Structure 1
Amino acid sequence: MGGVPRVVLDLLRNLPKDKFDFTLMLNLYQGELVKEIPADLKLIVVEKGKEQMSSNSFMQKIQLIWRRMKLEVYDKFPSILYKLKVPEKYDIEIASSYAEFDMVLNSPDKNSRKIAWFHTDVTYDVNQERAKARIDQMKKFDHVIFCAAHIKNVIKEFYDVTYSSSSVVYNAIHTDKVKEKALEFEVKYEELKKPIFCSVGRLHSRKGYHTLVNIHRKLIKEGFEHSIVVLGDGEEKNNLIEQINQLGLNESFKLLGTKINPYPYIKNADYFVLPTRSEAYPLVINEALALEKPIISTNVGGIPEMVDGGVDGILVNYDEEEIYEAMKKVFTQPELIEKIKQNTKDSYKKFDSKKIYNQVTEIFEQQNQIKLENERS
């Protein structure tokens, strides 16, 4: 359900088929997005997903243990994995996130060009030893793609590391498709007090939703009636539910869970808020702008490359008081908010998907040309 798989699927659907013959390799065949894998795409599945296992709980536990054991063997002995699961050799092998770095770098095919795609702001990793290991690991790739200039720059600034071959490629968004999906069904929010602030994200401590709950309570206590809906799931869900109940906010702060199609929920809200402590290039910001929603967000990661502060959104530091003041402007500065609303109507012009596809195409062609030259020499 994550942003990275969505980006991968979008590229596989839209990069030129007359130039590339793609194969998608999945460690696990599970998650809602498997339904969106193009039917004509070559697919390698390393192991089954839970949905394909026995409905008997005892048998499923046995299957999960067996699956974990096989994955550990493949991890330690990649030659076995490739011999059993990968029948062809490829010109280019791509790690779509750091989770696949080891697999691609350990590929027995030493002639393929290796590309790392990086979507993470490493400065907020609590385990800096792990972050530094990933930064150093990227040096082993033939080319590194960053999803935002901020991520590339911060690695240079904080770790003094640069890469001999790298690019910045923003995640593509199709505003027409987003708008079309936003009309698939109606979300009325009839039981909630207006205005409605919507947010979409994983329920993780670094996403700042515990902070948003406190801000919500403070605004209501000061007489600024509103409601907040959050789409997503994660390990912080139970903590957030307890916090919401303790503060008596369960009628106005709603956790709606994961939604395959979040766009009607965004479209029928009044504002989009992202109180996150750390981000790379969150696609949902662009999607909210495509639906002409004013953005209130923290000024982290690649978000300043997406939102023009004071133009189509309000950007602040990750600070409870600053986020509170930004949300308060909805109620106290109507002229500013109206100007931002009008500016969101042209925000879609910032997102040129065709340009992004051409950029990726050029990178792949360049890497393949290098491979051919290496083989000739």
Structure 2
Amino acid sequence: MQEFIDSKKVIEIRNIIDPKEIKSRAKEQSLINFNSAKINIVSVGRLVNHKAFELAIGAINNLISNGHNVHLYIVGEGVERNFLENEIKRLKLTNHCTLLGFQNNPYPFIKKCDIYLQTSRIEGLGRTIIEAALLCKPIVTTNFPTAFSILQDNITGLIAEMNSQDISKSIERLIENKKLKNNLIENLRKKEDWEKEKTLDSIYKLLNS
């Protein structure tokens, strides 16, 4: 818009994300009981190309090859289901990757996981990362452009290169380095999310201008 309209006439207002609602809904019972003997990793999003879930599956394959007992749960539905199912079968990961399909409430899955993973090629906002951060989960994400506006690398999350090898290395760091993992969680707990108030304030200013 700024290419065609005077930038002074363009106002950017972020979507409202309500921390209280997310934390409340996260307490609801999920349909899946995670195996506590495994490192349970959750990703949420539509099964479409730009979410790049094949990178997540490839990362799991690398971790299994390195001797880590991990399980990936992908919450979401979409046109790439058959492709992803075939990838899971091809890599013989049926005991380590589960496509959960669409869930009305993904938050209990995020709350119960050990690591939240986002492998998107591109995101406008990266809402699920913000939601995982509000639930204080250790996060690994790819380096899509807006990731750096949500997370501070090595402080509130790990930002990996957009390939399965680097993603798996970042996950491995969290598995093997408990101090790093705990520091990320603690930093997220300390971080106050004022985005809802900021968004409402921007809307009120717009309406009153």
Q: Give 1:195's aligned residue.
A: 39
SS at match of 1:350: coil
How far 1:193 sits from its partner (Å)? 4.7
The yes-or-no answer on 1:324 pairing with 2:168 is yes
> What runs of 5+ residues in structure 2 fail to find an aligned partner?
none
Choose the corresponding residue for 2:204, options 356, 361, 367: 361
For 1:69-126, what per-residue CA distance to the aligned partner results, in whole angstroms no more than 9, with x for missing partners? xxxxxxxxxxxxxxxxxxxxxxxxxxxxxxxxxxxxxxxxxxxxxxxxxxxxxxxxxx
Counterpart-to-counterpart distance in 2, 1:307 and 1:252: 27
Is the 1:215–1:320 contact (alpha carbons within 8 Å) kept by the matching residues of 2?
yes
Counterpart-to-counterpart distance in 2, 1:267 and 1:187: 13
Choose the corresponding residue for 2:133, options 269, 273, 289: 289
> Aligned partner of 1:353: which letter?
K
SS at match of 2:159: strand
Aligned in 2, Cα 1:284/1:351: closer, same or farther, shift over 3 Å? farther
How far 1:310 sits from its partner (Å)? 1.0
SS at match of 2:188: helix
Counterpart-to-counterpart distance in 2, 1:251 and 1:278: 29
Larger RCO (alpha carbons 8 Å, 6+ apart): 2
How far 1:281 sits from its partner (Å)? 0.5
The yes-or-no answer on 1:139 pairing with 2:4 is yes
1:22-61 matches, within 5 Å, as none
Aligned in 2, Cα 1:362/1:309: closer, same or farther, shift over 3 Å? same
Counterpart-to-counterpart distance in 1, 2:61 and 2:181: 22
> What runs of 5+ residues in structure 1 fail to find an aligned partner?
1-134, 141-161, 367-377
Choose the corresponding residue for 1:218, options 18, 41, 62: 62
> Aligned partner of 2:207: which letter?
F
Q: Give 1:4's aligned residue.
A: none
The yes-or-no answer on 1:245 pairing with 2:110 is no
Aligned in 2, Cα 1:192/1:256: closer, same or farther, shift over 3 Å? farther
1:332-347 matches, within 5 Å, as 332-347=176-191
Is the 2:72–2:98 contact (alpha carbons within 8 Å) kept by the matching residues of 1?
yes
How far 1:204 sits from its partner (Å)? 1.1
Number of equivalent positions:
209
The yes-or-no answer on 1:230 pairing with 2:74 is yes
Aligned in 2, Cα 1:350/1:309: closer, same or farther, shift over 3 Å? farther
Percent of aligned pairs with the same residue? 23
Counterpart-to-counterpart distance in 2, 1:351 and 1:256: 32
SS at match of 1:218: helix
Is the 2:121–2:142 contact (alpha carbons within 8 Å) kept by the matching residues of 1?
yes
Choose the corresponding residue for 2:146, options 302, 309, 329: 302
The yes-or-no answer on 1:350 pairing with 2:178 is no
Runs of 4+ aligned residues of structure 1 deviating over 3 Å after TM superposition are 190-193
Counterpart-to-counterpart distance in 2, 1:257 and 1:194: 21
Choose the corresponding residue for 1:181, options 19, 25, 32: 25
How far 1:266 sits from its partner (Å)? 0.6
For 1:4-62, what per-residue CA distance to the aligned partner results, in whole angstroms no more than 9, with x for missing partners? xxxxxxxxxxxxxxxxxxxxxxxxxxxxxxxxxxxxxxxxxxxxxxxxxxxxxxxxxxx
> Aligned partner of 1:364: which letter?
L
Is the 2:142–2:160 contact (alpha carbons within 8 Å) kept by the matching residues of 1?
yes
SS at match of 1:281: coil
SS at match of 1:202: coil
How far 1:263 sits from its partner (Å)? 0.6
